[in-house]
Amino acid sequence: MRLVAVPDDHEFGNDGLWERVRAKVVELLDDKKIKIACVDFVRFTWLEKKKDGEVEVDEDEGEDDGGEEDFDYDSVPPIKPIEDGDRHYSNPTIWVGVVPNTLTADTAFDATKGIRSFLNGLNVTDIDIAYRETVPKSSVSRALFAPVGIVDHRKDFIDPVSVALSLPIAGLKTTMQGTMGPFFHVDNTLYAITVRHNLFLADGGNDEFKFSTAAPNIHVVLMGNPAFTNYLASIQAEIETLIDSVDAIEKKIKTHTSNMQHGIGLPQPQIDLNTHVAERDRLRGKINALQDFFAVIKRRWGKITRRVIGHVVWAPSIGVGVPPHQYTRDLCVVQLYKENFYNLLGNVLNLGPEYTSTKLKSLFYERDDVKSTFKYPTDGLLPLLTSQQISNPDNKNVTGDPIRRAIKRGFTTKTTVGTISRYMSFARKYFPTGNLESIELPILPHENETGTFSKGGDSGSTIVSPKGEYISLLTSGTNKGTDGSDITYSTPFEWAWELVCKQFPGANLYWDDIEAFLAA
């Protein structure tokens, strides 16, 4: 069973009805002393496999082959996979998250009756109400290289040490690992945005931080020690895998050489020999490139003090339910040392090696009758996407429902594609000193992907549209203490950027002449 977004044209999307329903649900649950963690509005989908049985075969079904010489592959339209079964969808569901081990069946039943009575008063039907145990939690966990092309042997490993968006960061003296958000500048000074909880301890106080030369710097590093060690280990593991592949190919080369010498199966052994020699040489080239890359990384950044890329200059106190929108304020601005960023291209999201462009396009646009607007923003100009525009999707899923896709690249889950719900979620966190409530922009996992949209360590990631427009900053997610988030929460970027601009007059996400900026 998978989460999917409620269609955009549901009646809850009219005249702020969902906002009123959500607030009333919270009120009714509070009356029952239920410890709410979050309130979301979602649907569920599942595939019911067909029963084993016989089928009738239509011998005339399909196309006549017309002869092999007449076949034109380029004339064949894309073939869409079909599901072997019947796809089912639940009613739109008010999905209530509660603190684990705090809700009894009787209490849930009584609360549901109250919610159902309220919905009946609004003449709203076909709405399900469900509960789950969940734990809202934050998603923490020298000159950098320029991003490389898809044919570069280093492409699978360059992203964590390049100047593209979503750098993996940590504090020099803290253990949390997170992700760097977008770059910006004021005059000739370079900055970047992330979330405060990536760099400040939760029990270290929540006062606003402003940089002062009289106080010690809060240094920011490229990857903490555990992350850096694992990064080096991943490169070594890939090299060993490639060496094993070369060894296997060498054995095949010997076999094909022997067949040729004995005239067995000619001319195929010569064709196979040429193919395997070319592949062996290609893999050897990749091994050499990765070994050289490993040596450079270890020598240049082996010591954590050499991975310092900047220091914190502003971090407002973490606030939830901040007026006027009740969003989460979890921000931190880092001044970056320009000498580490002389390969900067602007705000360019490296889509990484996880997906081909074809696969990404299929995840963004599933229907042939919807024009694709997916285009990688090579110039680094990512126009802002306002919160009002989030309510107006430009795509449809396979069932024809309006839908808006989102993509992010984070430290832990790398590149993932999800679905933005236009129905904002309510979230509450419990602390000994009191409760903190906020309204969050929810991102659901893609219904055709098995993994989650985010995990711990992805906090601070910039979430963008397929067009490259800013949508939000990733801050947290909900689950029951497991590794991934069933729903990812984020703060609309438009609002977060307004806060940054008030503190940094003249802040700009774009560069007219980035080479001159870096040289200044």
- Tens digit of pLDDT for each residue in 73-128? 667 776 666 777 888 999 999 999 999 889 999 999 999 999 999 999 999 999 99
Q: For 273-298, write each residue's pLDDT tens digit.
A: 999 999 999 999 999 998 998 898 88
Rounded to a whole number of angstroms, the CA Rg of the chain reads 27
Say whether pLDDT at 153 is over 70.
no
Helix or strand (DSSP H, E) at 208 = none
pLDDT value for 214: 76
Mean residue pLDDT of the chain comes to 83
Beta strand 36-49 with 2-4: parallel, antiparallel or unpaired?
antiparallel
The whole-number average pLDDT for the span 426-434 is: 78
What residues are paired with 141 via a beta bridge? Answer: none
Cα separation of 186 and 501, whole Å?
A: 10
pLDDT (average), residues 305-334: 90
DSSP annotation of 464 reads E
Instruction: Calculate mean pLDDT across residues 235-253.
Output: 93
For the record, the structure tokens of 425 come out as 């979620």
CA angle 446, 449, 451 (to 5 degrees): 95
Out of 451-460, 477-486, 507-516, least confident range: 477-486
Q: Tell me, what's the pLDDT at 452? A: 87
Spatial distance between the Cα atoms of 165 and 154, rounded to a whole number of angstroms: 17
d(C-alpha 434, C-alpha 431), whole Å: 5
pLDDT at 291: 92
Tokens in use for 291?
Answer: 């070994």
**For the residues 155-175, what does the mean pLDDT come to?**
72
pTM listed for this prediction: 0.78
φ/ψ region of 66 (left if φ > 0, alpha if ψ in -120 to 50, else beta) reads left
**pLDDT band, very low/low/confident/very high, at 187 (cuts 50, 70, 90):** very high
How far CA 179 is from CA of 212, 332, 434, 473, in Å, comes to 24, 12, 28, 10
The strand ranges marked E within 251-355 are 308-315, 319-322, 327-329, 332-336
- The amino acid present at 368, given as its one-letter code, is D
Question: Higher model confidence: residue 117 or residue 464?
Answer: 117
Cβ partners under 8 Å of residue 36, min gap 6? 26, 29, 30, 96, 97, 98, 99, 426, 428
